[in-house]
Amino acid sequence: MENCVIAPGMFRHMKLYSVVFSGCKMTGADFQSAEMHNVKFENCDLTGAQFANAKNAGVVRFEGCTLIDVCGTASLKGAVVQGPGSMELALSLAREAGLVFEP
């Protein structure tokens, strides 16, 4: 899928095989309990996306994506994150782990 708006997208419990999302606006997308086999997100806005209980069954890549306030980040274990979204995703993971940052 290229340069599309899928907001909010419902991918809950779906099996995704060799899918590339490129330049898509996917704010609030729901990937809860989805099985992802070789899925690539490139330059997508995944702000507020939900990945709780997602199964990373193959390579899952996020390249140049916006990953602010993503939920269910622990389910993304093994995913490859490239670009500025890596810090955004790290903050979501820290929040879900209960870490508190103070100035």
Convert the pLDDT of each residue in 53-100 to its tens digit.
999 888 899 999 999 999 998 899 889 999 988 888 888 888 888 888
If you ran DSSP here, which 8-state letter would residue 74 be given? G
Look at the block and give the residue holding tokens 């993503």: 70
Per the CB < 8 A criterion, the answer to whether 54 and 36 are in contact is yes
Full-model pTM? 0.87
Look at the block and give the residue holding tokens 């704010």: 27
H runs (alpha helix) in the chain? 85-96
Long-range CB pairs of 47-53 (<8 Å, 24+ gap) are 51/75, 51/76
